[in-house]
């Protein structure tokens, strides 16, 4: 509504006037100013920020501090405490200002005030501060703190017990914290308090979740309480009238089930949990926003629960919500993560996901304003692109999907970049010969850039994506990648402990398609094949050895020169190691994959009809390799046993042919 210049000027002068009145020595003036301030800021984030900027918080804390011990101070304490709580509620800058102004010790002291209204307001205010992530962690290892917490939980005042519970929720973060509190009898106190008001019950459920999270010992203590009655009370609460109680009780049960699945065994209970959570998705407020996260947490890494959730049509519901308009970012993120978990393992879920026609919506959300939503969309896409059936049909390799993902590789947030890399890693496997689309969109350039990032996680994931890209790629695509990557970078990646396994697997894939592809590792005086050989001889990591020997095995599918190069790499004694060759070491190893890789390498080196085959067999015999092979004739691994047979047969046939 338009207003006159005079009216606007009057409105803007109001905060200054109000602050001036807060500093008045007249108690009545101060009280009136406090009430005005409270009415302005409660529920109004903009006003809160504006007053925080004007430096109002220290003035209010000043009023609080100066009102303690004054006869007429109660009303001032009530108003100032309420304002302090409001400033801290939901606004980080407010919580920071409140803490910096030293409100904490004053508020704690006031908790012992005889005036119940004063105590109520102060406890509520402190609880709001403890709901901020900026609030200091309460140190439970100090006796006085523990005693104070116990006295709060023992209070008859529900706001005070609620505060005690909030302190636990905020500060109980380590196994030690959980054990201290459990040892102090806090579990039993919280269970008793569950019988109180809604406010108290919900605060206690959150505190219980914090105490039980990932701690099997404390969970066991909890389950043993009163012969299992504590657990029964919790289970009963998942059917409570209050939606928030239902959610919090479910969350607590999920925490128990994730750590000790035996306590969440009954299929009926699992089904009930799923149905309750699905129903809670309909809740419009904070509860509805938090439910998808609870669903995701319930089914994460649990195929049995994913199957149950799928059978209860959870995916349909989640996708239905996803398509509703005006979703808050928090809920959008949660829905994407819950869908991601459902599609993480079961192909039937992925199949359903595609039939529900939400792929475009998820792809569009890669461009969302919120980084959390973008990351969740990536995780969702990562899990649905685990479908080889869809990858084979070339479902994802198109500009609409690839372009926004490549954009995200340049995001300022590393977690967004890593999430985008994980989807790209899957999409570029592409069996439909459409890898050129990714090249054309500049994807390879970006992956190569990230393979040299300062961040080791980005480097690792970028090399993994490059490895997947060159899997069964045509020669021209491989050449493009190698030209972009350069030989020197590849060599340094092969030598870098954190990424070498993936770098060797990348080379293995490059080498897969015959002599032309093998030539790639012989450029620049063969520094790549030398680097592979060096790593294979010196590596301690099993997976590096496996990738390395398979890479050399692939080199040995090339021509005579290539095979001879492999011979010299694998028969050279190990640096600072025993005099035996690495090939014998691998054949003697406990890992069947490594043995099989080494045997394949020998099969390729002794492959029939090569002009140098006889001489290589002689060298292998002299090096004790054939003798070692014979010892594996009855290898417990069938694959190794039969491959040994092939290798020995090749050697025998070669001798007979001479």
Partner 1 sequence: MPVRIAESSSCSTPSQGSGANSGDTLPPACTLLSVGQAFSGSQNVSSLQKDEAWKVNVRIQGCDLDHGYLCGTMEALNVPFADTPVVTFWEGEIVDTKNYTFFTGKWEATIEDDIRHWSKFPSFSPLLNEVKDDGGRSLNLSNYPYIFMRWKEQYFVNVGVDCGLTIAGFYYVCFSVSDGSIDGFYYDPNSSPFQKLELKSTNEGKSGFSFSSYQLQ
Q: Would you state the structure tokens that stand for residue 645, as one six-digit string?
A: 């047979």
Q: How far is the CB of 413 from partner 1 (least distance, A)?
A: 18
Question: Which of 185, 514, 573, 578 contacts partner 1 by CB under 8 A?
Answer: 514
Q: Which residues are bridge partners to 573 per DSSP?
A: 581
- Say which DSSP state 573 is in: B
Q: Would you state the structure tokens that stand for residue 245, as one six-digit string?
A: 């109680």
Question: Which of 40, 259, 385, 530 contacts partner 1 by CB under 8 A?
Answer: 385
Identify the helix (H) or strand (E) that includes residue 353: helix 347-355
* C-beta of 203 vs 596, nearer to partner 1: 596
Q: How far is the CB of 296 from partner 1 (least distance, A)?
A: 17
Q: Does 478 bind partner 1 (CB under 8 A)?
A: no
CA distance 554 to 510: 9
**Residue 302 burial by CB count (10 A; 0-12/13-18/19+): exposed, middle or buried?**
buried
Question: Which of 86, 468, 535, 569 contacts partner 1 by CB under 8 A?
Answer: 468
Instruction: Tell me the CA distances in angstroms from 403 to 375, 461, 494, 614, one per residue in order.
Output: 16, 18, 29, 53
Q: How far is the CB of 463 from partner 1 (least distance, A)?
A: 11
Q: How far is the CB of 581 from partner 1 (least distance, A)?
A: 19
Q: Does 550 bind partner 1 (CB under 8 A)?
A: yes
Q: Are 509 and 465 in contact (CB under 8 A)?
A: no
Please work out the total of residues on this chain that contact partner 1, with binding judged by CB under 8 A.
50
CA distance 126 to 116: 15
Q: How far is the CB of 564 from partner 1 (least distance, A)?
A: 13
CA distance 47 to 190: 37
Secondary structure of 21-53 in the HEC alphabet? HHCCCCHHHHHHHHHHHHHHHCCCHHHHHHHHH
Q: Does 406 bind partner 1 (CB under 8 A)?
A: no
Q: Are 205 and 247 in contact (CB under 8 A)?
A: no
Q: Are 100 and 60 in contact (CB under 8 A)?
A: no
Q: Would you state the structure tokens that stand for residue 150, as one six-digit string?
A: 């116990």
Q: How far is the CB of 13 from partner 1 (least distance, A)?
A: 59
Q: Which stretch binds partner 1 (CB under 8 A): 104-112, 191-199, 233-241, 548-556?
A: 548-556
Radius of gyration of the chain (CA): 33
* C-beta of 130 vs 600, nearer to partner 1: 600
Q: Does 498 bind partner 1 (CB under 8 A)?
A: no
Spell out, one character per residue from 595 to 634, where the chain touches partner 1: x when CB under 8 A holds, - when not: -x---x--xxx-x--x------------------------
Q: Which stretch binds partner 1 (CB under 8 A): 31-39, 167-175, 367-375, 391-399?
A: 391-399
Q: How far is the CB of 469 from partner 1 (least distance, A)?
A: 9
Interface ranges with partner 1 (CB under 8 A): 347, 382, 385-386, 388-389, 391-393, 422-423, 425-426, 429, 431-432, 464, 467-468, 471-472, 505, 508-509, 511-515, 550, 553-554, 556-559, 563, 596, 600, 603-605, 607, 610, 637-639, 642-643, 645
């Amino acid at each position: 509504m338009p207003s006159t210049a005079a009216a606007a000027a009057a409105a803007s002068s109001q905060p200054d006037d109000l602050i001036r009145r807060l500093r008045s020595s007249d108690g009545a003036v101060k009280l009136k100013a406090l009430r005005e301030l409270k009415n302005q800021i409660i529920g109004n984030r903009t006003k809160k920020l504006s007053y925080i900027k004007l430096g109002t918080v220290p003035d209010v804390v000043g009023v609080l501090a100066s009102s303690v011990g004054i006869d007429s101070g109660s009303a001032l304490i009530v108003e100032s405490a309420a304002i302090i709580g409001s400033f801290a509620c939901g606004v980080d800058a407010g919580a920071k200002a409140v803490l910096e102004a030293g409100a904490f010790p004053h508020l704690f002291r006031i908790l012992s005030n005889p005036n119940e209204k004063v105590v109520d307001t102060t406890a509520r205010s402190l609880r709001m501060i403890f709901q901020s992530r900026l609030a200091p962690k309460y140190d439970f290892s100090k006796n006085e703190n523990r005693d104070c917490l116990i006295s709060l939980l023992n209070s008859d005042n529900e706001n005070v017990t609620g505060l005690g519970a909030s302190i636990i929720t905020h500060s109980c973060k380590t196994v030690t914290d959980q054990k201290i509190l459990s040892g102090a009898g806090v579990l039993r106190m919280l269970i008793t308090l569950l019988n109180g008001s809604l406010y108290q019950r919900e605060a206690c459920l959150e505190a219980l979740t914090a105490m039980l999270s990932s701690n099997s010992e404390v969970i066991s203590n909890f389950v043993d309480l009163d012969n299992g009655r504590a657990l029964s009370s919790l289970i009963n609460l998942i059917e409570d009238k209050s939606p928030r109680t239902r959610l919090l009780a479910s969350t607590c049960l999920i925490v128990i089930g994730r750590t000790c699945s035996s306590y969440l065994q009954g299929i009926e209970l699992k089904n009930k949990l799923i149905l309750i959570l699905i129903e809670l998705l309909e809740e419009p407020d904070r509860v509805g926003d938090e439910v998808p996260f609870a669903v995701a947490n319930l089914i994460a890494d649990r195929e049995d629960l994913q199957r149950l959730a799928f059978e209860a049509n959870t995916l349909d519901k989640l996708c239905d919500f996803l398509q509703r308009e005006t979703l808050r970012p928090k809920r959008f993120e949660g829905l994407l993560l819950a869908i991601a978990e459902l599609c993480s393992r079961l192909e039937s879920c992925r199949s359903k996901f595609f039939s529900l026609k939400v792929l475009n919506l998820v792809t569009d959300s890669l461009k969302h304003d919120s980084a959390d939503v973008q990351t969740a969309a990536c995780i969702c896409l990562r899990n649905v692109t685990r479908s080889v059936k869809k990858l084979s049909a070339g479902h994802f390799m198109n500009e609409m999907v690839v372009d926004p993902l490549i954009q995200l590789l340049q995001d300022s947030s590393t977690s967004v970049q890593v999430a985008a890399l994980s989807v790209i890693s899957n999409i570029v496997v592409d069996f439909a010969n459409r890898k050129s689309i990714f090249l054309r969109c500049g994807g390879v350039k970006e992956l190569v850039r990230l393979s040299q990032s300062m961040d080791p996680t980005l480097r690792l994931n970028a090399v993994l994506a490059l490895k997947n890209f060159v899997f069964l790629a045509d020669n021209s695509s491989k050449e493009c990648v190698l030209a972009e990557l350069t030989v020197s970078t590849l060599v340094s990646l092969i030598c870098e402990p954190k990424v070498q396994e993936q770098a060797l697997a990348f080379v293995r894939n490059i080498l897969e398609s015959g002599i032309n592809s093998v030539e790639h590792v012989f450029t620049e005086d063969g520094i790549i094949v030398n680097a592979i050989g060096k790593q294979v001889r010196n590596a301690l990591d099993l997976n590096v050895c496996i990738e390395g020997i398979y890479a050399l095995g692939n080199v040995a599918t090339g021509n005579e020169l290539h095979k001879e190069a492999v011979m010299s790499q694998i028969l050279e004694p190990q640096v600072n190691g025993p005099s035996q060759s690495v090939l014998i070491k691998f054949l003697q190893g406990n890992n069947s994959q490594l043995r099989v890789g080494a045997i394949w390498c020998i099969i390729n080196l002794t492959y029939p009809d090569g002009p140098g085959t006889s001489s290589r067999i002689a060298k292998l015999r002299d090096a004790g390799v054939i003798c070692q092979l014979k010892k594996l004739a009855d290898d417990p691994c069938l694959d190794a046993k039969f491959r040994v047979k092939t290798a020995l047969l090749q050697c025998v046939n070669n001798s007979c042919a001479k």
